[in-house]
Structure 1
């Protein structure tokens, strides 16, 4: 019996030791798990999960790569100069890099190169909404903020989009000016656009078409949409082709600064001057002489430099954690004041200005 009891006591002691070790091990594991979870959660929040801080300060030393549709485009140069100005005001640096043509995929290799430089932000006017989307998503995955301005990319491939004015507003202005320059508001009109894939151009033309179906514009007939690819010479030739193909044409509507200038230049020395008018979107400095000689009685635009300036501040606000791109967020945009993000990450600069002989000398850009 004594031997039995001694064995039993020994087994009990051994069991107690094992249980103690298991409990200690479990306790250590629990503590480690809680610590790691807390650390991981904090890291995740720091790397991009923090809420927007509208009262936060802009970070100094931010870097950005700014990409126009193509280099050498006067409108794009004005726009990009505004982005550079915004970053300089904030103590950062924005570098302009772009393609030499406005082809749908021409920006892609340059964007891939930009990602390798790991800037705080990429700011671009997209040549094609879908062609650039995959590489922009790669940029966002690497914690690079992406802002589109003037011409949007796919909405899931950027944080915010700087729109010059509302799409509806621009389309309405184009329709109204077309009616204004056609005698009696009756006759054939044509559109001279940029590229066939240009996001903004296509959206404005869609609204223009819709307006032309309403009773107010029933006497205007859109006969052709031509594409000058934002190339001066091709736009010039397309103007010539439109006048040849449509002898009863009364107006050319060009929602592109390159196209409107080329069309006006051709018409200003054409026998059709006075019979066919040009309108659309252009800068005062390029269109001044054509307004004064009657080739283009009215056209419209916003200040391209302000578009880029707003894009620069939006990118800096994203990189500084002031905004995330969600609807309703606000940020301070320098001389343009406080701005609010609208649905789908859109920030609207404001309504376009219409330029005529009476007011064009009040503007210099």
Structure 2
């Protein structure tokens, strides 16, 4: 029996044990961007990756520049490790649409499935079947219930994202006035975690006492719906000072609406976007500043994490260490979480330094 098959058999039990015993947060390098450092573990970070594995990335939806960048990173790793690679998924960001793709990948006995989930629980049955068949399931960007996957590659600590989004918003409106959030789907675990941080800070931090969150709307990571939701927010809240969109599809659609409207320069827009899609809106004054991590690096780390698990280098236990190519060493945190790093802010001063 191969090492990846052994992992698949033991993974469900391991996930239960991790969920029962996990405590504390993930481990990662310092927030200044240094290479990640770990607390040590039984795994050998210099262990050899297995070649010839099959990898498949299943994003929330295809035709999304963010996930296309992640796919580029993952494909590069698969190629370097002499494996086969597939990028596949639905055109709409719904959990039901992802299920059939998971089932197909399971039937194909794909060694490593890299999934950005549209729902934390609705995919679990299909994921359980895939793991029982020998697939290693690594979620990235947006997680499922920890018991339903082997590891999760997080972009950043959720608190860091929520705090950064709120800080940028406050800076742009002098911490005063009504704000609204244009999110992705209502069940997206990552966006919901960031929104919870924003809501908690608005309620408890006196620095934001003069700011009010008046509405949260969902564009379902669809361009036209996000565009319409932006229009709706501005009509429903004539005193709105800022829109926060923690989704690359949403912020681009909102920027496109604002740039051609009377609200350009009057209503601030910030959130999470890629430099390439947001450059024109920064340069025309629609957006002052936004943030993101490198989605290509996120895809690379997800692929290396899956390869490490499928090769028997790690099992998903807290404290294990592995080397993710040029990205450096990473440590598995509680509940099988591996964290890429803090977000980068983009503005007119630095946006031309980035190309993704």
TM tier, smaller: 0.7 to 0.9
Give 2:23's aligned residue: none
SS in 2 for 1:107: helix
Give 1:197's aligned residue: 187
Give 1:229's aligned residue: 220
**Contact 2:3–2:311 (CA under 8 A) maintained in structure 1:** no
What TM-score does the superposition give when structure 2 sets the normalisation length? 0.88
Question: Is the aligned partner of 1:140 residue 2:142?
Answer: no
Q: Distance in 2 between matches of 1:47 and 1:265?
A: 50
- The structural deviation recorded for 1:80 is 1.4
Question: Is the aligned partner of 1:290 residue 2:281?
Answer: yes
Give 2:117's aligned residue: 126
Q: Relative to 1, partners in 2 of residues 1:274 and 1:57: Cα closer, same or farther, differing over 3 Å?
A: same
Q: Distance in 2 between matches of 1:110 and 1:161?
A: 19
CA deviations on 1:100-153 (whole Å, 9 max, x unpaired) are 211121100111111010011111100111111111111111221110000101
Q: Distance in 1 between matches of 2:4 and 2:298?
A: 32
**Contact 1:105–1:128 (CA under 8 A) maintained in structure 2:** no
Tell me which of the two structures has the higher relative contact order, counting C-alpha pairs closer than 8 angstroms and 6 or more residues apart.
2
Q: Distance in 1 between matches of 2:258 and 2:76?
A: 36
**Contact 2:184–2:250 (CA under 8 A) maintained in structure 1:** yes
Q: Distance in 1 between matches of 2:154 and 2:284?
A: 32
User: What 5-or-longer segments of structure 1 have no aligned partner?
Assistant: 1-41
Give 1:186's aligned residue: 176
Q: Distance in 1 between matches of 2:273 and 2:5?
A: 44
Give 2:6's aligned residue: 47
Q: Distance in 1 between matches of 2:2 and 2:267?
A: 64
Higher share in helix:
1
Q: Relative to 1, partners in 2 of residues 1:44 and 1:316: Cα closer, same or farther, differing over 3 Å?
A: closer
Larger radius of gyration: 1
Give 1:264's aligned residue: 255
What TM-score does the superposition give when structure 1 sets the normalisation length? 0.86
Size of the aligned set, in residue pairs, is 323
CA deviations on 1:252-292 (whole Å, 9 max, x unpaired) are 00000000001011001111112101100000111111112
Q: Distance in 1 between matches of 2:81 and 2:57?
A: 16
Q: Distance in 2 between matches of 1:59 and 1:250?
A: 53
**Contact 1:104–1:197 (CA under 8 A) maintained in structure 2:** no
User: What 5-or-longer segments of structure 2 have no aligned partner?
Assistant: 12-41
Divergent runs of 4+, >6 A: 42-46
RMSD: 1.8
Q: Relative to 1, partners in 2 of residues 1:142 and 1:46: Cα closer, same or farther, differing over 3 Å?
A: closer
**Contact 1:78–1:304 (CA under 8 A) maintained in structure 2:** yes
Question: Is the aligned partner of 1:212 residue 2:171?
Answer: no
